[in-house]
Amino acid sequence: MTTNNSEPGPVIPSMISIVDYGMGNLRSVEKALEKLGCATQFVTTPEAIDAADSVILPGVGAFGDAMAELRRHGLVEPLCRYATGGKPMLGICLGMQVFFESSDEAPGVAGLGVMPGTVRRMTPHEGLKIPHMGWSGLSVKPGSRLLESVEDGTHVYFVHSYHVCPSDENVIAADCQHGCRVVAAVERGALWGTQFHPEKSQAAGLAILGNFARAAGAVSTLTFP
C-alpha cells in the first residue's frame, strides 16, 4: 500500500475582469489593482463576461451613452446574468448607476435593472457646486463587506452630477452629504457598487478595492496599503 504524502499545490489567485466598453477609466482601475497584487484582464465580449471569475464595470460619462455602448457590444444580457449569478461584481461611478432601472439623465433609456430604483440629478444648494467633485466623508452602514474596516468619516473622491436613489434602503452600504443625501455605495450579496472612485481615493480606495479582491479570490493577503 502506498501513501501519497505530497503537499497540495499553491492556490492560484483568480483574475479580475474589467469591462472595456469605451466608457471607463480602465487604466486607473488596472493600476490600482496592480498595487494590490491582483491579476487583471480587459474583457469586451459576452463570452468573456460569462467565463469571468469576478467583474468590475467602470464608467465615466453619460447614462444613455453607457447603455448604448453596452447594447452595441452585446453586453447587457451577459452583465444582467452575471450580476444575479452570485459571483463578485463591482460597479464604479457610472458603472454603479447603470445597475439601476432608469436615470433622469436619459429619460426612456432602461438601465440594467439589477438593483431597484433610479438615478436622479443632484439639486444645487447654496455654496455647493454641481458636479459634486472632490473629497467627502462616508457614513458607513454596519455589516458592509465592501467597506469592511473603513471607518465613519473616511474621505473618498467623487465626480458626479447624478446620484442613485434605491427603492430598497437595505442595499445602501454608505452615504455622504453634498447638500442632500448622496448614496455612496450599494451592496446586495456579491453585487457591489460605489459612486465614488476607489481607484482615485488613495489608501482608503485601495483598502476598498482590496476587500473586493479578497471576496473575488484575487488576493489572500494584502501588503498595501
pLDDT value for 197: 97
Active-site residue 93, yes or no? yes
For helices 63-72 and 76-83, give the axis angle rounded to 10 degrees.
Answer: 100
With beta carbons less than 8 A apart as the criterion, state whether 195 and 185 touch: yes
Map residue 144 onto helix, strand or coil.
coil
Mean pLDDT by 10 residues, the chain (225 residues): 52 86 92 96 97 96 97 98 97 98 97 98 78 93 95 96 96 91 95 97 97 90 51
Active-site residue 163, yes or no? no
Predicted TM-score (pTM) of the model is 0.91
The catalytic position among 132, 160, 178, 197 is: 197
pLDDT value for 178: 84
Amino acid at 47: E
With beta carbons less than 8 A apart as the criterion, state whether 206 and 197 touch: no
pLDDT value for 126: 67
The catalytic position among 93, 163, 178, 187 is: 93
Domain ranges of the chain: 16-215
Q: In 149-184, which positions are buried (b, 16+ CB within 10 angstroms) versus exposed (e)?
A: ebeeebebbbebebbbebeeeebbbbbbebeeebbb
The catalytic position among 30, 105, 187, 199 is: 199
Please state which CATH number belongs to domain 16-215: 3.40.50.880
Map residue 114 onto helix, strand or coil.
coil
